[in-house]
Amino acid sequence: MTATAERTTAAPPRTEEPRARRRPPAVGDALLGIWGIVGLLFLFFPVLVIVAYSFNTGRQLQSWQGFGLDSYANAFNNPTIVATIQVSLAAAAGSAVVSTILGSFAGVALARRGGRWTGWLVALLGLAMVTPEIVNAVSLLPWFVTLGADWGLSIFNLGQVRLVIAHSLFACAVVTFIVRARMAGLNESLEEAAADLGAPPIQRFWTITFPLMRPAVISGALLSFTLSLDNTVLSSFVSVAGSTPWPVYVFASLRSTLRPEIAAMSTVMLLLTLVALALVAIVLSRASKKTGDGSSLAQTLAGG
Amino acid sequence: MTSVATAPPAAAPPTPEPPRAKRRFTGSVGFLAVPIAVWLVFFFIVPFGLILWYSFGEKPSLYVTHSNDVLSLARYVEALDPAFLTTFWRTTQIAITGTALCVLIGFPMAYWMAVKLSPRARGLVVALVLVPYWTNFLVRTIGWQITLSPEGFLSDFLNGIGLLNGPLQVLYTQQAVQLGVVYNYLPLMILPLYVALERMDHKLLEASRDLGGNWWSSFWRVTIPLALPGILAGMLLVFVPLMGDYITPSVLGGASGSMVGQMVAGQFQRAQNWALGSAMAIVLMLAILLVVIAFGVLFRLIGIALRRFRHLGDLDTTGAIR
């Protein structure tokens, strides 16, 4: 008796739901799903090729000889490769520090204060983001030569300094927009409350503002680090002999012979990147649990 | 009586104070934008000005990269020679086709991710889209080089199943570059589209269906207008770096698939003719700006047309969208 009564009350929504769902054709949904999965496979395909060919024991990357770990041993025993990785990591760290500091400050300023200058700054940052790398690269090279050779500012002759500056241009704009997006979504009242309670500006920043913007700062720093590791065009123009970063080394060996060591080292770097990403995802999910708002890695990276 | 007398003076000060406190706080952060502005002016604007200046000069002799003793527009005339224009036209073709293909491939993917997947799966798939993006751009392109090479495994496979007779002749052609750029820039299209579609209020779609719209009209009148900012952002993010791409054609293009970026780079690295290289870079930059502005105008017109269409239609969702 009660069962039938329940059934009658439960019945209307159940019949209504399928009808609403029947409208978009199920075939369409299945096709969309297939399309999405094939798209993901497409995105992963060359990465999987590189990982597979990193186990190639042949002398040339492209021609498969046999399966083995030789290339990994060779890569780590090759002082040139190890040196280029060190250059890349140092440049990436430097670029991440510079871009994160510049970008975080600018992001806070843009989110918290409107004015005529914000339009100009956004235009400048946008321009830095839409200028093709090749144009940036060919304009930075003569500028560094002018600064270093003609004006005698020898710091601009250092390969590392050049790499950090070149890589930071795009990255600091990215960090600015990520931090601005985060700050724009936050209420200013917390900071005002701290100010009303007499907290000096620096304390207010470290105890209120910074913890709020931390997820954006972390993902901004991570993005600038990986953007720098990835950068080939700017690096191949501004780098000087003795501080060749990893992508420039790979690019140069493209003209001679590609060895499986390159695939092996790339696989190692991919694994390291994944570990770093996982760590950041954990940090961010903890932060979001603490503050109670959803800011997953994906969300933050997608723009706050 | 006393309460009436004391209340106004007590209530009055707080009203003018919050704006003052706000101004005090926000006024102190404006200076934080100064470092980045100085940094970008010094390392972005000034260098650009420098090559603009060089582009009016010349290469005086074999061992000197540039000289501005005589100013002329001769380098621009030299830059716009048939060889450059051919490459430029090919670059534009590759860039426009590539951007269009990225929209066509990326939109259903982003739609699937944002609308069809559960929120939990969404985060995972976004991460999956990003993982390949964090492998070095150059190395991923080399992955395609291995795949497409005439002696590669794909060639063997296609021969094995009888789809192909003889080695695969794709590497070092314009098609290879086209594939490479679509691959390399696809995540830059998917992400803004995903963000735009994910923010979309799904109730609008339901409303449009309840009001009698079929799938097709809901798609064109609700989904597309709402996704338009994402489409525009994605097209910008794909088209601009694609026009200046120098890595993909170097790895996959060979002589028949070369792009403008390589010509600019060649003037600086091999020919050591900074004046001509600068002029080429300025031409490239101007062309990109022109196309971007044209895109912007076109999309504004499309937006206006869509809005008008929606007003005329029986399905009025504009109130909800606004």
Question: Is the per-residue pLDDT at B319 higher than 90?
Answer: no
- Residue A50 in any domain: the answer is no
Of the candidates B210, B198, B44, which has an alpha carbon nearest to the alpha carbon of residue B126?
A: B198
Alpha-carbon distance B28 to A51, whole Å?
A: 51
Question: Is the per-residue pLDDT at A115 higher than 60?
Answer: yes
Chain B interface, best mutation among A40, A47, A138, by max B CB count within 10 A: A138
Q: Which range marks the domain in which residue B188 is found?
A: 88-321
- pLDDT tens digits along B13-29: 444 444 444 444 445 66
- Residue B244 in any domain: the answer is yes
pLDDT > 70 in chain A, percent:
84
- Residue B178 in any domain: the answer is yes
Nearest-CA distance from B298 to chain A in Å? 19
Chain B interface, best mutation among A56, A135, A235, A266, by max B CB count within 10 A: A135
A62: nearest CB among B46, B152, B281: B152
- Residue A134 in any domain: the answer is yes
B265: nearest CB among A134, A196, A250: A134
The DSSP annotation for A199-222 comes to: --HHHHIIIIIHHHHHHHHHHHHH
- For range A137-156, the mean pLDDT: 89
Nearest-CA distance from A118 to chain B in Å? 9
- Residue B106 in any domain: the answer is yes
What local confidence, expressed as pLDDT, does residue A93 receive?
Answer: 95
- pLDDT tens digits along B300-314: 887 787 777 655 544
- For range B148-167, the mean pLDDT: 85
Nearest-CA distance from B147 to chain A in Å? 8
Number of A–B residue contacts, CB under 8 Å: 285
- Residue B46 in any domain: the answer is no
Question: Is the per-residue pLDDT at B274 higher than 80?
Answer: yes
Alpha-carbon distance A19 to A13, whole Å?
A: 10
- Residue B75 in any domain: the answer is no
- Residue A244 in any domain: the answer is yes
CB contact (8 A) between residue A142 and residue B54? yes
CB contact (8 A) between residue A23 and residue B32? no
Nearest-CA distance from B255 to chain A in Å? 14
Distances (CA, A) of A184 to A66, A178, A179, B165, B282: 55, 10, 8, 59, 36
Q: Give chain B positions within 8 Å (CB) of A273.
A: 134-135
Q: Looking at the 3D structure of chain A, how many domains does it have?
A: 1
Q: Which residues pair with B67 in a beta bridge?
A: B58
A138: nearest CB among B113, B191, B277: B277
We report the CATH number of the domain holding residue B226 as 1.10.3720.10
CB contact (8 A) between residue B132 and residue A33? no
Q: Which range marks the domain in which residue A222 is found?
A: 77-301
Q: What is the average pLDDT score of chain B? A: 81
- Please count the residues of chain A: 304
- Residue B202 in any domain: the answer is yes
CB contact (8 A) between residue B139 and residue A263? yes
CB contact (8 A) between residue B25 and residue A273? no
- For range A28-34, the mean pLDDT: 88
Q: Looking at the 3D structure of chain B, how many domains does it have?
A: 1
B138: nearest CB among A142, A226, A250: A250
Q: Are B277 and B264 in contact (CB under 8 A)?
A: yes
Q: What is the average pLDDT score of chain A? A: 81
Question: Is the per-residue pLDDT at B265 higher than 80?
Answer: yes
- Residue A29 in any domain: the answer is no
- pLDDT tens digits along B242-253: 998 989 999 998
CB contact (8 A) between residue B123 and residue A28? no
- Residue A187 in any domain: the answer is yes
- Residue A127 in any domain: the answer is yes
- Residue A290 in any domain: the answer is yes
- Residue B80 in any domain: the answer is no
Which run of H or E residues covers position B17? Answer: helix B17-27
We report the CATH number of the domain holding residue A107 as 1.10.3720.10
- pLDDT tens digits along A240-276: 888 899 999 999 988 888 889 999 999 998 888 788 7
**Worst-scoring range by mean pLDDT, A18-32, A98-112, A158-172?**
A18-32
- Residue B31 in any domain: the answer is no
Alpha-carbon distance A134 to B241, whole Å?
A: 9
- Residue A5 in any domain: the answer is no
Nearest-CA distance from B303 to chain A in Å? 22
Question: Is the per-residue pLDDT at B257 higher than 90?
Answer: no
What local confidence, expressed as pLDDT, does residue A15 receive?
Answer: 42
Distance of CA B40 to the CA centre of its chain: 20
